[in-house]
Amino acid sequence: MWANLASGRSSCRLSVDKMERLTPFFFPIARLIVMRKLSISMAGNKSLNAANKAKEDEFYTELSDIENELKHYKQHFKDKVVLCNCDDPRISNFFHYFSYNFEQLGLKKLITTCYKSQERDLFSQNNSERAIWLEYTGDHNGNRVPDPEEIGINYLKGDGDFRSQECIELLKQADIVVTNPPFSLFREYVAQLMKYNKKFVIIGNQNAITYKEIFSYIKANQLWLGSTLSFAKFRVPDYYEPKPTRFWIDETGQKWRSMGNICWFTNLDIAKRHEEIILYKSYNEEEYPQYDNYQAINVNKVADIPMDYDGVMGVPITFLDKYNPEQFEILGIMASTTIDSLNFGYPYVNGKKIYARILIRRRQPSASTYPQPEETTLMAAEKQEGYGKE
């Protein structure tokens, strides 16, 4: 069943009857790979806690959600190498999407890496058998379908962790990375993409917007939200613990989670990023009060941004879904008790703490006449005293 390639790498080919017994919805990899489920004992509470946390990261993205988002990026994929480096190829709809649309998108190559075990609670534990990586270079027999013999399956020496050196070498080959990375490692994952100057379209939690590392990229226009804001549902593994809300099991026994705070993050240009927000409301002091602890007015809804106010405004985080860098400038955020060059403390209006806000200003020829947030940090720190204590 196993054969050595001339290159020295190992590749697997399975009999059709064995392949057909695997998960039917994942074609063609379901017909290619048999991965033996491993039973591994983890010592210590630290390992167990890490395992439980990793389990919570395992969400299987629906093909329809992938299609709805990636249709806005088709012009970017021509002659490019795409990497999906946080995917289980037995069930990955990312590999399915790109392999079946390989010719239509004009891809050069598709690479995906697989964790070494069927369970992601073994993520980065380095205590299991070898992982694999898949390589697809398109249709070779004219049927425009990714046949088993057209997909190369190669061994990794380690566990398939995106941080390992061999996975980094695969990353270096890629032009665009598209995947659903572990939410608990989102900061580290994005930092790696930035370090190697990669283009990407990835899924993350909206809460990541408030992370200092992520927000700094957003403010610098190095990262922005994708075209679709949230997903209706995700498939989750059998071992996933039931939740009191947004959780159900369908008639086939498949477990599902619904999460309304999931979005796509990218650094590829899309048409939506250049659409201006239509402004129709006029500024007045009563409807747009100033913050107690920062020199800016509060705007409760993105649709209510005044068309005639040129100063600093605090808007809901959902503003980023409609952000046009040609229309507005992002100055900072008010989302925690921390005060630094990016974050200016939780916003307060008339002594009442309100939801997190992003500080923006309309793009104006005379923008330099308005103070930058860095110049008002001391003022913000002084006024913050007594507020936001947790």
Q: Is 3 exposed, middle or buried (0-12, 13-18, 19+ CB in 10 A)?
A: exposed
354 and 233 housed in the same domain:
no
Strand partners, 352: 349
Radius of gyration of the chain (CA): 24
227 and 355 housed in the same domain: no
Alpha-carbon span 64 to 273, nearest angstrom: 22
Q: Residue 81 belongs to what domain range? A: 2-272
Whether residues 294 and 262 share a domain: the answer is no
Are residues 263 and 304 part of one domain?
A: no
Q: How far apart are CA 218 and CA 224, in angstroms?
A: 6
Are 246 and 360 in the same domain?
no
Whether residues 134 and 189 fall in one domain: yes
Nearest-angstrom CA–CA distance, 381 and 376 = 9
CB 288 within 8 Å of CB 300: no
Residue by residue, pLDDT tens for the chain (390 residues) are 233 323 333 333 333 333 333 333 344 444 443 332 223 233 333 333 443 444 454 556 778 889 999 999 999 999 999 999 987 666 688 999 999 999 999 999 999 987 665 443 333 344 446 688 999 999 998 888 888 889 898 989 988 899 999 999 999 999 999 998 988 999 999 999 999 999 999 999 888 999 999 999 999 999 999 998 655 555 666 766 666 655 556 677 776 566 667 899 999 999 999 999 999 999 999 999 999 999 999 999 999 999 999 999 999 999 999 999 999 999 999 998 889 999 999 999 999 999 999 999 999 754 444 444 454 444 444 444 443 344
Strand locations in the chain, DSSP E?
2-4, 10-12, 81-84, 109-114, 132-136, 151-155, 176-179, 199-205, 224-225, 234-236, 247-249, 255-257, 262-266, 297-298, 313-316, 328-334, 348-349, 352-353, 357-362
Domain count for the chain: 2
- pTM given for the model: 0.74
Helix 186-195, helix 212-219: angle, nearest 10: 40
Q: What is the pLDDT of residues 131-140, one digit of tens each?
A: 889 999 999 9
Q: Cis link prior to 365 (omega < 30° from 0)?
A: no
- For 87, the 3-state DSSP assignment is coil
- Domain end, chosen from 272, 294, 327, is at 272
Q: What is the DSSP letter of 70?
A: H
Q: How far apart are CA 315 and CA 82, in angstroms?
A: 36
Of 272, 305, 333, the residue that ends a domain is: 272
Query: Is the same domain home to 266 and 279?
Result: no
From the list 191, 120, 112, the residue with the least C-alpha distance to 151 is: 112
With H, G, I as helix, E, B as strand and everything else as coil, classify residue 257.
strand
- Condensed to tens digits (0 to 9), the pLDDT of residues 91-147 reads 688 999 999 999 999 999 999 987 665 443 333 344 446 688 999 999 998 888 888
Tell me the per-residue pLDDT of 198-233, one tens digit each, with 9 for 90 and over: 999 999 988 899 999 999 999 999 999 999 865 555
For residues 147 and 117, is the Cβ–Cβ distance under 8 A? Answer: no
Sheet holding 234-236, edge to edge: 234-236, 255-257, 247-249
CATH code of the domain in which 61 resides: 3.40.50
Residue 390 forms part of a structural domain:
no
The last residue of one of the domains, among 223, 246, 272, is 272
266/305 same-domain check: no
